[in-house]
Homo-oligomer: A and B are copies of this chain.
Amino acid sequence: MTEKLSTQPYKGVRDFYPAEMAIQQYIFSTWAHTAESFGFARYDASVLEPAELYRAKGAENEEMVNQQTYTFTDRGEREVTLRPEMTPTVARMIAAKSKELAWPVRWYSIPNLYRYERAQRGRLREHWQLNCDIFGIDDMATDVEIIALAYQIFMNFGATDDMFTIHINDRQLMHRLYVALNLNEEQILSLTRLNDRRDKMTAEAYRLELDGITGDGTVSEEVIMLLDKSDAQTDVVVGLAELGITNVVFDKSLARGFDYYTGTIFEFKDTDPDNNRSLLGGGRYDNLTALFGGEAVPGVGFGFGDVTMRDFLETHDLLPEPIISPTVVVAPTEPVHNLSAQKIAQALRSSGVSVAVDSSARKIGKKLSLAGENLSTYVVALGEDEIASRRYTLKNLVDGTETTDTLENLIDYLTDKY
A residues with CB within 8 A of B: 1, 4-11, 13-18, 21-22, 24-25, 36-50, 52-53, 56, 70, 72, 74-76, 78, 80, 82, 92-93, 95-97, 102-104, 106-107, 112, 114, 116, 119, 125-126, 136-137, 139-142, 144-145, 148, 152, 239, 242-243, 290-293, 324-326, 329, 335, 338-339, 341-343, 345-346, 349, 352-357, 359-360, 370, 374
- A48 cross-chain contacts in B, Cβ below 8 A: 10, 13, 114, 125-126
Question: Are B359 and A4 in contact, with the CB atoms below 8 A?
Answer: no
In the complex, A251→B246 CA distance in Å?
68
Given A43-B17, A239-B342, A349-B1 contact (CB < 8 Å): no
**Of the candidates B8, B52, B243, B352, which one forms a contact with A342 in the assembled complex, judged by CB atoms under 8 Å apart?**
B243
Question: Are B291 and A4 in contact, with the CB atoms below 8 A?
Answer: yes
Task: Give the interface centre of A18, A139, A239 by most chain B CB atoms within 10 Å.
Answer: A18
Question: Are B10 and A80 in contact, with the CB atoms below 8 A?
Answer: yes
Question: Are A339 and B242 in contact, with the CB atoms below 8 A?
Answer: yes
Smallest Cβ distance from A257 to chain B, in angstroms?
Answer: 21
Given A139-B338, A374-B102, A46-B80 contact (CB < 8 Å): no
- A24 cross-chain contacts in B, Cβ below 8 A: 44
Smallest Cβ distance from A179 to chain B, in angstroms?
Answer: 26
- Across the interface, name the chain B residue whose C-beta is closest to A36: B354
In the complex, A32→B41 CA distance in Å?
20
- Mostly, the A contact residues are mixed
Question: Are A97 and B17 in contact, with the CB atoms below 8 A?
Answer: yes
**Of the candidates B42, B343, B355, which one forms a contact with A18 in the assembled complex, judged by CB atoms under 8 Å apart?**
B42
Given A37-B349, A141-B339, A141-B341, A92-B18 contact (CB < 8 Å): no
Question: Are B360 and A126 in contact, with the CB atoms below 8 A?
Answer: no
Question: Are A75 and B116 in contact, with the CB atoms below 8 A?
Answer: yes
Question: Are B141 and A18 in contact, with the CB atoms below 8 A?
Answer: no
Question: Are B45 and A9 in contact, with the CB atoms below 8 A?
Answer: yes
In the complex, A154→B204 CA distance in Å?
67
- A14 cross-chain contacts in B, Cβ below 8 A: 45-46
- Across the interface, name the chain B residue whose C-beta is closest to A338: B141
Question: Are B56 and A44 in contact, with the CB atoms below 8 A?
Answer: no
Given A17-B43, A52-B5, A93-B15, A10-B359 contact (CB < 8 Å): no
- A292 cross-chain contacts in B, Cβ below 8 A: 4-5, 7
- A114 cross-chain contacts in B, Cβ below 8 A: 48
Smallest Cβ distance from A199 to chain B, in angstroms?
Answer: 30
Task: Give the interface centre of A56, A102, A116, A329 by most chain B CB atoms within 10 Å.
Answer: A102
Smallest Cβ distance from A163 to chain B, in angstroms?
Answer: 20
23 cross-chain CB contacts under 8 A:
A4-B291, A7-B93, A7-B95, A11-B76, A13-B48, A14-B46, A15-B96, A16-B45, A21-B42, A21-B43, A22-B41, A36-B354, A37-B353, A38-B354, A39-B329, A39-B355, A47-B126, A72-B72, A102-B374, A106-B356, A142-B338, A145-B359, A242-B343
